[in-house]
Amino acid sequence: MEARSVTGPPPPPLPAGALADRRDPSAIPDGCFRLPKTSSTSLTKSFTAVHDFRVTDYSLLEGMGFGRYVSSSTFSVGGSDWAVRFYPDGATAGLLGDVSAFLYYYSRDRDAPGVRARFTLNLLERDGKMPPATNPYMKHTFSLASDNWGFTKFMEKSRLQQGSPYLDRDCLTIRCVLTVVIDSRTVDNEMNSVVVPPSNLYQDFGEMLSDGEGADVTFTVDGQLFHAHRCVLAFRSPVFRAALFGPMKEKAENLIKIDDMEPAILRLCFTSSTQIVCLIAAVMAECGDAALARCSGPVWSGEAKVVV
């Protein structure tokens, strides 16, 4: 079985403003914020109909010659007129062993644009039911210049002899299922937004401090050991940044003993929100240069080697 198909026209452009930024003013939980979200939907309008074309006295049609046909009456689908044509000896020369079936388009307006359609043609069995194996659907844009499309090898003549399941007292029925596409348009959906939960980054930092994985510096505070991460401390406290990456960084590579800080304060540098860390940094900065000047004294002592 031979079929034809063509590529359809490109999709229409999106309407202006389809991606406009809109915001949902509804309330959101504390600590959360909303990201604007827009969406759109392409809607395609179409009409589908079925037309059965009954051909009587089939045996009398054999021998009428290729290119000659019998036609159904016209039927309307999607605002256009259509007809099914059956070629008992084939639509073109060289098809004498096959019958052909085509769908024809009748334009009501010579200036009308092409009509996009999806259709199939099948012979019904004598009980009026579709056969188990059917022809595929075909797609075509019909116009005055291309007003027909169909199956050149619709069925072999040898399958339409006496006793054929498609013949009922020398009559056959061609069923056309036709869908006509009217137009496609894009509409904006109801505006929505995505709620972004508050950050839990400081909780992740707290877990890093607890399990010690990837730690590259060790503190001893009031007899407690803390296996910490230089980068986290440096970027969450300017005092630690100066001590760990400033002029005294070589001494800071040893096990660091802190005598002027409670263990809870060091933990807060990992687990507190940014506002609390800033407050800690401000308090620590009160001793600023004096604290850093004592890096080799009671604040930072190099009594043991750090495990790097």
Concatenated DSSP letters of the chain: --------PPPPPPPTTTT------S---TT-EEEEE--EEEEEEEEEEEEEEEE--HHHHTTS-TT--EEPPPEEETTEEEEEEEETT-SSTT-TTEEEEEEEEE-S-TTPPPEEEEEEEEEPPTTSPPPSS-PPPEEEEE-SSS-EEEEEEEEEGGGGSTT-TT-SSS-EEEEEEEEEEEEEEEEEPPPEEEEEPPP-HHHHHHHHHHH-TT--EEEEETTEEEEE-HHHHHHH-HHHHHHHHSTTTTGGGSPEEESSS-HHHHHHHHHS-HHHHHHHHHHHTTTHHHHHHTTTTTSS--SS----
Same domain, residue pair 168 and 252: no
Same domain, residue pair 128 and 166: yes
Residue ending a domain, among 158, 188, 218, is 188
Residue ending a domain, among 154, 188, 222, is 188
Copy the structure tokens of residue 28. 């959101």
Same domain, residue pair 127 and 46: yes
Instruction: Say which residue the tokens 């054929």 belong to.
Output: 164
> For residue 44, what is the domain's CATH number?
2.60.210.10
Whether 255 and 220 have beta carbons less than 8 Å apart is answered as yes
Same domain, residue pair 104 and 226: no
Same domain, residue pair 121 and 149: yes
Q: State residue 245's pLDDT score.
A: 77
**Is 12 domain-assigned?**
no
Same domain, residue pair 184 and 206: no
**pTM, two decimal places:** 0.52
Triad 91, 96, 98: Cα angle to 5°: 75
Same domain, residue pair 134 and 46: yes
Copy the structure tokens of residue 126. 């004598």
Q: State residue 58's pLDDT score.
A: 95
> For residue 258, what is the domain's CATH number?
3.30.710.10
**Is 302 domain-assigned?**
no
**Is 28 domain-assigned?**
no
Burial label for 285, CB within 10 Å (0-12, 13-18, 19+), is middle
Same domain, residue pair 147 and 205: no
Residue ending a domain, among 188, 219, 252, is 188
**Is 300 domain-assigned?**
no
Same domain, residue pair 59 and 161: yes
**Is 268 domain-assigned?**
yes
**Is 89 domain-assigned?**
yes
Kindly report the backbone phi and psi dihedral angles of residue 293, in degrees, each rounded to the nearest multiple of 5, phi listed first: -70, -20
Q: State residue 249's pLDDT score.
A: 57
Same domain, residue pair 244 and 156: no
As a whole number of angstroms, the distance between CA 10 and CA 13 comes to 9
Q: State residue 165's pLDDT score.
A: 95
Copy the structure tokens of residue 81. 């007129």
The one-digit pLDDT tens for each residue of the chain (308 residues) are 444 443 445 555 544 444 344 444 456 666 676 677 788 888 889 999 999 999 999 999 988 999 999 999 999 999 899 999 999 999 998 888 999 999 999 987 777 788 999 999 999 999 999 998 899 999 999 998 899 999 999 999 999 998 999 999 999 999 999 999 988 888 887 766 666 677 676 677 677 767 777 778 887 877 778 777 777 777 767 777 777 777 655 455 557 777 666 777 666 666 665 544 555 555 555 544 444 433 333 333 333 233 32
**Is 2 domain-assigned?**
no
Whether 90 and 96 have beta carbons less than 8 Å apart is answered as yes
**Is 10 domain-assigned?**
no
Same domain, residue pair 68 and 159: yes
Same domain, residue pair 149 and 218: no
Domain total of the chain:
2
The domain in which residue 244 lies consists of 201-293
As a whole number of angstroms, the distance between CA 177 and CA 122 comes to 9
